[in-house]
Amino acid sequence: MERPGFWDNQEKAQQVIQQLKQLNGVLKPFEELEGAAGDVQALAELAEEDAALDAELEAELTRLEKRCDEFELRSMLNGPQDASNAYLRIQAGAGGTEACDWAQMLLRMYARWAERHGYKAEIVDEVRNQEAGIHSATLHIVGDFAYGHLQSETGVHRLVRISPFDANARRHTSFAAVDVMPEIEGDIEIELKPEDLKRDTFRSGGPGGQHQNKTESGVRYTHIPTGISAECRTERSQHKNDAMALQLLKAKLYRIEEQKRRAEVERLYDEKGEVAWGYQIRNYVLQPYTLAKDARTGVETAQVHNVLDGDLDEFITAYLRQKAAREHKQRAAS
């Protein structure tokens, strides 16, 4: 970065800065951890001479242990796009209004998670259900390592509760799918030929009245060879929606290529998957008892309302530990 002419190529410079950000995300905390460990060691030596320092030493050891756990988690985020921002898409499954309401609950859950971590979350696409909830929505989450943390959320999420839309107060099961993609900065090694792209425009809709969008500002891009599509309708400007839809499509295609290269053995939900029983990665039960349980890691908690309010870190950490252990085992075997 100190070389003359580094900023002559802005795009390449940004790629280097992105790489540096990911490296510093591990190296700087490690250096700080080394310093903290040295301080604790010095305090331990003093405590051998003065028992009055034992309480202070115990408190410092507890803080150091917590920082070590946080550093271990950060070191697991070593994928090529883990430091990136994220696009998180939610799609309601079968079940009508009940499923649409569940999809909106998930949208709120991830927005609250982002808020807890100081990330910015913005809805870039949303299709509302007329009665309640949403058919689908895409959330753009901006913050360091947003994708690295949220990659664990890809899959089908199942809710069991007494439906607020059932006059007989019966228990219902609802499904919604979550798909997480990294926001790609700079060049993407995905060749998008113009003849492979289909572009459609449509009216964005709205709540009616003066806010009703009467022009075809919504944009949808479809990658013909794979059938994968991406759309954006939140902006009044077709130009802005066009750029965002194309960016989303590139992110989806890039993620698929990454999955192929890593040859992940776990089953990830994609747009052709079934949003139904037997495919869920996590269950949320509100009645007759309260429980949130991850089907992949076995992590569970009775504090399901806290989870729905964005307290997801226990699930995310367990998934990343499991993923790191699997990758280590694969490297050892090869």
Mean pLDDT, contiguous 10-residue spans, the chain (334 residues): 86 80 81 92 91 91 89 81 89 86 96 95 89 92 92 93 82 91 67 81 59 67 85 79 83 74 42 56 93 95 96 94 86 80
- Cβ burial 151-187 (10 Å sphere, 16+ → b, else e): bbbbbbbbbbbebeeeeeeeebbbbbbbbbbbbbbee
What was the pLDDT predicted at 294? 96
What is the CATH code of the structural domain delimited by 86-184+266-333?
Answer: 3.30.70.1660
pLDDT at 75: 81
Paired with 197 in beta bridges are 223
Model pTM greater than 0.85? Answer: no
Tokens linked to 90: 């939610």
The predicted pLDDT at position 270 comes to 42
Instruction: Note the pLDDT of residue 325.
Output: 87
Fold of 194-261: Double Stranded RNA Binding Domain (3.30.160)
Q: Who's near 60: CB < 8 A, 6+ residues apart?
A: 39, 40, 43
Whose CA is closest to 213, among 232, 236, 231, 239?
A: 236
Helix (H) / strand (E) containing 155:
strand 155-162
**How much is the pLDDT for 90?**
94
Distance between CA 231 and CA 201 in Å, rounded?
A: 9
Provide the pLDDT for residue 24.
81
Q: How many CA atoms lie within 13 A of 175 on its CB side?
A: 16
Tokens 């077709």 locate to 238
In angstroms and rounded to an integer, the radius of gyration of the C-alpha atoms of the chain is 23
| Residue 87 token pair | 């696009």
pLDDT value of position 261: 52
Angle at 305 between CA 299 and CA 310, to 5 degrees: 75
Backbone angles phi, psi at 327, to 5 degrees: -65, -35
Please report the pLDDT score of residue 269 as a whole number: 37
Could you give the CA distance from residue 134 to residue 123 in angstroms, rounded to a whole number? 12
Q: Could you tell me if 102 and 209 are in contact, meaning their C-beta atoms sit under 8 angstroms apart?
A: no
